[in-house]
Structures are given as C-alpha cells and as structure tokens.
Amino acid sequence: MSINTPLFSGKIISLGAIDRENDPAIETRWTHDEAFGRMFPAGRLRPLSVFQIKKKYEEIEKEVDEQELFHFRIRAKEDSRLLGFGEVYWIAWPAQVACIRLGIGLPEDRRKGYGREALLLLLNYAFMELNLHRLSAIIPEYNLPAIELFKSAGFVEEVRRREVFARDGRRWDSLRLGLLAADWKKEHIHD
C-alpha cells in the first residue's frame, strides 16, 4: 500500500456516508432478517421501521461527530446500492486501540467478496489513517463466516468468554479476535 492507495474504494465496493433519504428503507429490510440480526453480539432482535432507522442514524452521526465512531456504508461499485455497514468503534485514543465490525445486509449479497474487501479497506483506514495500534473484533462462536473472514485478514483468537449468548435453546461463547498494526503491515505494506 502506498500514499496513492484509495482509502474508500476497492474493486467491487466503496465505503461512504449514510444516505438519510434512501438507506433507511433498505436497512429496515435487514432488521426483518433474523440471520442478519443474530450475527451481532448485542441487542435484541426486532424489526425496525424506517422512522426507527432514521433515529438510529441520528445517534450514529452524533458519535461520528464526537469521533467516538467511524461509520461507513458499504456500497456496490457497479450500481451504488447499499450492501451493508462497517465501523471502527470503542476507540481508546490514548492507547490507540479500538474494535471493528461489519455486516452485509441481505442474504443474497453475502459470501460474494463484499465483506472481505470492506474489511481490508477498513483495516487500511484504521491502521494507516487513524494510526491505531490494535483492533479487536467481538464475534459469537456460531458466526463461522465472520470468524473465517477476520482470521483470513490476520486476526487471531485472543479471548473466549464461555456461554455469553443464548440463542436457539443453548449457550454460545463470545470470541474476541485481535490484530496488531505491526502484524497487518508486515503482510500489506511493501516497499
């Protein structure tokens, strides 16, 4: 990677801001998909209305303004349609550490490389622009595609908290995967 490497644009996706007019109608569909909602560790599953999504955007934008969160919309380059979101959050600036997460909204858009490219763009942004030292990803043990994705980008399992999540009549572990900037740069920064 060099100074000429685009920060927010890859081969098949781009990262951008929330579109308050068009995104809520798309995102409300995601909240009706139980599989999407179950992939994230916090919150209760429930369908949200367009109005509720717009309120959520206000909260996100407030955190962005206060630099407590860097939130991006993932869009397909071919037609600019909304695919998902990615964010760097829980930033501890003095220690240069944060968490990272992303999600692809509709089932038909998953496992097509959008998440992989979005993750690589987010990692480049976090390590090269924000100058973070380490990132963590918190993933339920049943989210095997996310675990595979993050490990393929260099994350390693650092913490396993036993039986944190209750889903489908059983208890599941919470995994915390971590990646250091130095390890990422060894693989991605070349002279």
pLDDT (0 to 100) of residue 174: 94
Instruction: Retrieve residue 78's tokens.
Output: 């071919």
Instruction: Give residue limits of the domains in the chain.
Output: 13-188
| Fold for the domain defined by 13-188 | Aminopeptidase (3.40.630)
Read off the pTM: 0.91
pLDDT (tens place) for every residue of the chain, 191 residues total:
455 566 799 999 999 999 999 999 999 999 888 888 777 766 667 888 999 999 999 999 988 888 789 999 999 999 999 999 999 999 999 999 999 999 999 999 999 999 999 999 999 999 999 999 999 999 999 999 999 999 999 999 999 999 998 888 899 999 999 999 999 999 887 64
